[in-house]
Structure 1
């Protein structure tokens, strides 16, 4: 009896040892996670730790150099760069995250609906999205914001709707592949409604391919929102935003380079960190799919 128990224990141990986690980070993936966690912490607690109010003129020196009182120097009117970068992290990341969530809600819902509702609905939704995709992203954003005015809600909604276009196509393609599977056909035979089939059958089987897309759309949203702010059509001064900081201080690049390089570096490191995670996740998923096909 004891020997049988030991054998069973050994078998279970071997099975557990052979099991692989769903997602195991590589070195570059860990670097990406470290960068992302750093900026999330800055966004959450940075405004409470900032040495100055981001709108206050903290020094008489414009484009002041790095010092003990101003670790990243000052901008063109003497505001503390470190404080503005900290406050800008919360605004930039929160707006980008909200826009990405909106893009997912709209794009995935319409993509699944188009794939399952029938050819007429599919054709109407697809033609509308084709019209949006025919215009460059920044140009479309400029047109919408110029027509509706520059405000944070308009900025978030514009970015969300624009980046829902790509998600619509991906969600539609996934749903078309999944809807012919037996468990979806069985749900239809039972008389289940379309919302139930989407939430219980389609979405759970499409989650993993969509995870990487969330990271990519988040990067696109960050670049879109900061880009429009740089052009003067996004977040408006004196609000601390990374795009605004680059635009306001670009003329002093050689005089006070930290005023430009700090927010530009923040944008670059955040997007690189997210991309490292997405690349690592996609590479591992591709390897798993290749192994399953062998």
Structure 2
């Protein structure tokens, strides 16, 4: 813990801002529903698109529901689903990349060509087609978004793994009879963790934007559940009025993605230096 605090203290100002934003949204995702002043689906105000007040800090939405309560609840879905999806994508992509790096040449070619085929399909179109075909339940939506970003993670992880697999210490391990599983998990994987973390952070941002985009189009989470993208979509009629009901979730999405980007940039620059 002390080591993490020291590293955070050495971050540049942009990195500290990014870290603060990321930690803020993690805390909101964890405890948000418990600190919400009203149940997210309750109609608590007779005035729609009401402005900020002492009773409703972020006003009310198009049905008179408390925007702050819905924002605190929606952040859990956006952050939680994106984190789970990026973990699945990174696990599958990195696992396949390690298999390709230490496996026979034909397997590397097979996996690489398969991933090249998938990555040639635009991610948003691919996700839209799958969601439209199979539905948008929590499990299916998370799985579909994760599969969408497996090829990109595979390409980054494979390029790292193939380079490491040719180094002398891996050849020595291979010469002393170590199996492919040992080579992949003990010799190669630990030395590609740091670059992978930067890629995982970027993919988290892409997934947040993809999930929000799907929800905005009505193909994401379905009522009564709502993520930040859903909150923007359902309150578009208040855009002309500049209602907080549409501004607040849009700012939330922007601050989350900008925070992650700032943190990744600062951490990467720090490693380079």
With normalisation by structure 2, the TM-score equals 0.94
Please name the residue that 1:234 is paired with. Answer: 220
CA shift, 1:192, in A, is: 1.6
Corresponding residue of 1:263: 249
Deviations 1:88-146 (A, max 9, x none): 11111000000000011011010111122122111111111111111111100011111
Instruction: Note closer, same or farther for the CA distance 1:64–1:21 as it changes in structure 2 (3 Å cut).
Output: closer
> In the aligned structure 1, how far is the partner of 2:255 from the partner of 2:228?
12
Report the equivalent of 2:176.
Answer: 190
Matched, 1:224 2:224: no
Contact persistence 1:75–1:259 (CA under 8 A): yes
- Name 2:3's counterpart in structure 1: none
Hey, what's the Cα distance between the residues in 2 that align with 1:279 and 1:21?
14
The Cα offsets for residues 61-82 of structure 1, whole Å up to 9 and x where unpaired, read as: 1111111111101110011000
Moved more, 175-184 or 78-87: 175-184
Tell me what 2:155 maps to. 169
Aligned to 1:205: 191
Residues 55 and 239 in structure 1, CA contact (< 8 A), matched pair in contact too = no
Residue of structure 2 aligned with 1:51, choices 37, 45, 56? 37
Q: Please say if residues 32 and 272 of structure 1, whose CA atoms lie closer than 8 Å, have aligned partners that are also in contact.
A: yes
Kindly tell me: are residues 210 and 53 of structure 1, through their superposed partners in 2, closer, same or farther at Cα, counting changes over 3 Å? same
Question: Could you tell me how far 1:26 is from its partner in structure 2?
Answer: 0.8
Helix, strand or coil: the match of 1:65? coil
The equivalent of 1:70 in structure 2 is: 56
Asked if 1:279 corresponds to 2:258, the answer is: no
1:145–1:35 Cα change, 3 Å: same
1:9 alignment counterpart: none
Which of 1 and 2 has greater Rg? 1
Choose from 82, 99, 106 the match for 2:68.
82
Q: Structure 1 residues 155 and 222 mapped into 2: Cα distance closer, same or farther (>3 Å)? A: same
Query: Which consecutive residues of structure 2, in runs of 5 or more, have no partner in the other structure?
Result: 1-5
Q: Does 1:249 align with 2:235?
A: yes
In the alignment, which of 77, 82, 92 is matched to residue 106 of structure 1? 92
Q: Which residue of 2 aligns with 1:134?
A: 120
Number of residue pairs aligned between Structure 1 and Structure 2: 268
Secondary structure of 2:225's match? coil
> Are positions 1:120 and 2:106 aligned together?
yes
Whether contact under 8 Å (2:135, 2:141) holds in the other structure is: no
260-269 or 115-124, which deviates more: 115-124
Tell me if the contact between 1:29 and 1:277 (Cα under 8 Å) persists in the aligned partners.
Answer: yes
- RMSD, matched Cα: 1.5
**8 Å contact from structure 2 (residues 102, 183) kept in 1:** no
List structure 1 segments (4+ residues) > 4 angstroms apart after TM superposition: 20-23
3-state secondary structure, aligned to 1:227: helix
Check whether the contact 2:8–2:16 (CA below 8 A) recurs between aligned residues. Answer: no
Partner SS, residue 237 of structure 1: coil
SS at match of 1:75: coil
Measured in 2, the distance between the counterparts of 1:272 and 1:198 equals 34
**Under a length normalisation based on structure 1, what TM-score does the superposition of the two structures give?**
0.88
